[in-house]
Amino acid sequence: MSESLIEPVKQLIIDALRIEGMTTADIDSDAPLFGEGLGLDSIDALQLVVAMEKEYGVVVPDAATGTTVFQSVRSMAAHIAEHRK
């Protein structure tokens, strides 16, 4: 179930963060989103929280959950698959 969300989640990241010159093929599904990976920060994370809620109706209720959810594209997809309405 969550595997089918991998590509849409990558596209969501590109669209929500308005990343220019990047395609879904450029994003590793298992790479860290923060730090060494895509290099995202807390500003980006909140943007992704809002985008996930808007697109899938999925909430990230607190910082601790966010730490788990935003580990990678795959963990985002798993969270959406588990909680989408």
For residues 2 and 7, what is the distance between their CA atoms, to the nearest angstrom? Answer: 10
Taking CB under 8 A as the criterion, the residue among 1, 3, 42, 82 binding another protein is 42
When asked if residue 54 is in the footprint of another protein (CB under 8 A), the reply is yes
When asked if residue 52 is in the footprint of another protein (CB under 8 A), the reply is no
User: Which residues, 6 or more positions from 63, have their beta carbon under 8 angstroms from its beta carbon?
Assistant: none
Q: CB of residue 34 vs another protein: minimum separation in angstroms?
A: 11
Sign of torsion, CA 70 72 77 82? negative
Amino acid at 29: S
Name the residue nearer to another protein (CB basis): 8 or 66. 66
Give the binding site for another protein (CB under 8 A): 16-18, 41-47, 49-50, 54, 60, 62-63, 66
